[in-house]
């Protein structure tokens, strides 16, 4: 429990605190005040950022009525991104939608309301459509661009220098790269570092991150009709079209599109005819095409040569169809296996994790991953990655309890999913995993 003489502050929040809040929200199906501008995206689901951080703050501080001393928008989003969560803008709010009528007023109330955050405040929709239909312009400052080098990347990543060189070479050769591997192997983390290495800095202005999901569409990604402030529908560029235009204006500067969970979306439908333009030898104005929604007089569209696409793919997701050959032919693929070797052990030691705890992490996960690999119904694609153990507590004395919590609350439930039809086998592996 936090010391009463030293109040708990948002700076003390860790990724584990936020994950604990997300698990409680999912488990209890807690209703949350909606966000009108940003979403926290985690495992294909979207959450309002500030209510999630508010719950994490209350759980971490042990004070169920504690008020989070951070405003919605930039302060909350920056803290979540520092904890390596993804915060994205959401779709516009429509004035004439019965589902959206109260969203704008509820979001404004979040900064003032300190009562029960689970009970949304009723609000009357504005009379003028422009007050609700338009996406609110909340200032969201990008972090300053800092230099980023290969040495920094190797210090942060648990991969060899050779693997990093292979990833960079594949990206330069094909312009399109997919990082694939089991859950928790740091695919999104590596994707962002590859973009920083390509830029030579952490310049967020030249990086766009999107996450595919079953309802993501061509209209979201390329071009489609969206309502404007007057309630009329206008042709609006999507993420890829906007990024390509920006990249074409600076041909000497690389731009990066990061696609998280690329296999969760219907890739053929999302890319449409533009799948052809992704090929390295189909880039540039001489391969431009006219977009289906564009008027005849509109300029043709092309993918500039300085745009790099990095996707991530979770190989353990059995609910998805395999990627089709048309996509595979246009991407290079880099497998990312779990890394429980020297780099992870040195990282944990540098974080003051006791040697006994480090040995237990390596022994238990190595044994479990071997059992998963040997199982004919699972195989190496279902191994568990090292990122479960990349947020150890700052207090070395709390390390054993932290490890028990990760094994009990995050990994053991996953084993029940892996062996859903074989509960006895799942129980046996849980027992081995959780033994002292």
Max CA distance (Å), the chain: 70
Q: How, if at all, do strands 176-181 and 307-314 pair?
A: parallel
Residue 426 inside a domain? The answer is yes
Residue 160 inside a domain? The answer is yes
Who wins on pLDDT, 350 or 34? 350
End position of a domain, from candidates 70, 104, 133: 133
Q: What percent of the chain has pLDDT over 70?
A: 86
pLDDT band for position 125 (50/70/90)? Answer: low
CATH code assigned at 236: 3.40.50.300
Average pLDDT taken over every residue of the chain: 85
> What is the pLDDT at residue 26?
85
Question: What is the domain range of residue 329?
Answer: 153-335
Residues 304 and 179 in one domain: yes
> What is the pLDDT at residue 116?
46
Residues 173 and 120 in one domain: no
> What is the pLDDT at residue 375?
94
Residue 140 inside a domain? The answer is no
Query: Rounded to whole angstroms, how far apart are CA atoms 275 and 309?
Result: 12
> What is the pLDDT at residue 226?
83
Per the DSSP assignment, residues forming a β-bridge with 38 are 89
Name 63's Cβ contacts closer than 8 Å, sequence gap at least 6. 8
Residue 138 inside a domain? The answer is no
Q: Name the E strands within 142-201.
A: 176-181
Q: Is the pLDDT of residue 62 over 70?
A: yes
pLDDT band for position 227 (50/70/90)? Answer: confident
End position of a domain, from candidates 335, 350, 374: 335
> What is the pLDDT at residue 104?
40
Who wins on pLDDT, 230 or 75? 75
Residues 281 and 401 in one domain: no
For 316-337, how does the pLDDT look when each residue is reduced to its tens digit (9 = 90+)?
A: 876 555 677 888 889 999 999 9
Q: Is the pLDDT of residue 97 over 50?
A: no
Backbone angles phi, psi at 51, to 5 degrees: -60, -35
Residue 5 inside a domain? The answer is no
> What is the pLDDT at residue 53?
92
Residues 79 and 164 in one domain: no
Residues 106 and 254 in one domain: no
Is residue 301 left, alpha or beta, with left meaning phi > 0 and alpha meaning psi from -120 to 50? beta
For 258-314, how does the pLDDT look when each residue is reduced to its tens digit (9 = 90+)?
A: 999 998 888 888 988 788 899 999 999 999 999 888 888 888 999 999 999 999 999
Among 205, 73, 84, 83, residue whose Cα is nearest residue 143: 205
For 66-87, how does the pLDDT look when each residue is reduced to its tens digit (9 = 90+)?
A: 888 888 888 898 899 889 888 8
Cβ contact 339:159 at 8 Å? yes
Buried b (16+ CB within 10 A) or exposed e, 261-295: bbbbbebeebbbebbebbbeebbeeeeeeebeeee
Write the DSSP assignment of 359-383 as a string of letters: HHHHHHHHHHHHHHHH-TTS-GGG-
> What is the pLDDT at residue 94?
45
Residue 4 inside a domain? The answer is no
Residues 207 and 289 in one domain: yes
Who wins on pLDDT, 117 or 317? 317
Cα angle 211-49-385, degrees, rounded to a multiple of 5 = 50
Sheet holding 176-181, edge to edge: 207-211, 255-260, 307-314, 176-181, 332-335
Residues 258 and 357 in one domain: no
Cβ contact 311:331 at 8 Å? yes
Q: How, if at all, do strands 176-181 and 86-89 pair?
A: unpaired
Residue 270 inside a domain? The answer is yes
Using CA atoms, how far residue 321 sits from 111, 185, 279, 317, in Å, is 42, 21, 23, 9
Total number of domains in the chain: 3
- Residue in the block written with tokens 């955050």: 117
Residues 181 and 123 in one domain: no
> What is the pLDDT at residue 319?
58
> What is the pLDDT at residue 321?
59
Q: Is the pLDDT of residue 111 over 80?
A: no
Cβ contact 236:220 at 8 Å? no
Residues 126 and 232 in one domain: no
Residues 231 and 363 in one domain: no
Residues 186 and 326 in one domain: yes
Q: What percent of the chain has pLDDT over 90?
A: 58
Is residue 317 left, alpha or beta, with left meaning phi > 0 and alpha meaning psi from -120 to 50? beta
Residue 84 inside a domain? The answer is yes
Residues 297 and 166 in one domain: yes
Query: Rounded to whole angstroms, how far apart are CA atoms 161 and 302?
Result: 34
Average pLDDT over residues 38-62: 88
End position of a domain, from candidates 319, 335, 351: 335
Cβ contact 432:407 at 8 Å? no
């Amino acid at each position: 429990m936090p010391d009463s003489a030293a109040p708990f502050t948002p700076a003390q929040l860790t990724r584990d605190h936020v994950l604990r809040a997300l698990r409680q929200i999912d488990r209890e199906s807690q209703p949350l005040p909606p966000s009108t501008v940003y979403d926290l995206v985690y495992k294909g689901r979207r959450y309002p950022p500030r209510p999630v951080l508010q719950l994490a703050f209350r759980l971490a501080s042990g004070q169920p009525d504690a008020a989070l001393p951070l405003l919605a928008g930039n302060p909350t989003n920056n803290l979540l991104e520092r904890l390596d969560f993804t915060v994205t803008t959401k779709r516009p709010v429509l004035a004439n939608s019965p589902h959206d009528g109260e969203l704008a007023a509820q979001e404004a109330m979040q900064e003032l309301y300190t009562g029960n955050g689970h009970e949304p405040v009723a609000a009357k929709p504005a009379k003028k459509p422009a007050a609700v239909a338009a996406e609110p312009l909340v200032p969201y400052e990008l972090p300053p661009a800092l230099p980023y080098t290969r040495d920094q990347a190797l210090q942060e990543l648990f991969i060899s220098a050779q693997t990093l060189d292979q990833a960079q070479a594949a990206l330069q050769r094909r312009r399109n790269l997919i990082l694939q591997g089991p859950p928790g192997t740091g695919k999104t983390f590596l994707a962002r570092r590859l973009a920083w290495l390509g830029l030579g800095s952490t310049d967020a202005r030249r990086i766009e991150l999107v996450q595919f999901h079953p309802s993501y569409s061509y209209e979201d990604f390329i071009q489609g009709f969206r309502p404007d402030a007057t309630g009329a529908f206008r042709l609006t560029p999507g993420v890829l079209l906007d990024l390509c235009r920006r990249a074409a204006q600076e041909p000497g500067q690389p731009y990066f599109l990061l696609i998280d969970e690329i296999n969760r979306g219907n890739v053929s439908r999302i890319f449409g005819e533009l799948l052809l333009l992704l090929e390295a030898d189909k880039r540039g104005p001489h391969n431009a095409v006219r977009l289906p929604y564009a008027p005849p007089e509109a300029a043709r569209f092309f993918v500039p040569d300085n745009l790099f696409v990095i996707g991530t793919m979770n190989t353990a997701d059995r609910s998805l169809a395999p990627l089709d050959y048309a996509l595979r032919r246009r991407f290079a693929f880099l497998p990312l296996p779990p890394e429980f070797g020297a780099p992870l052990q040195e990282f944990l030691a540098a974080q003051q994790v006791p040697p006994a705890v480090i040995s237990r992490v390596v022994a238990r996960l190595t044994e479990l991953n071997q059992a998963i690999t040997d199982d004919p119904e699972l195989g190496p694609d279902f191994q568990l990655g090292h990122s479960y153990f990349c947020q150890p507590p700052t207090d070395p004395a709390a390390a054993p309890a932290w490890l028990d919590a990760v094994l009990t609350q995050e990994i053991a439930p996953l084993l029940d999913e892996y062996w859903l039809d074989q509960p006895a086998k799942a129980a046996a592996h849980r027992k081995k995993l959780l033994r002292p």
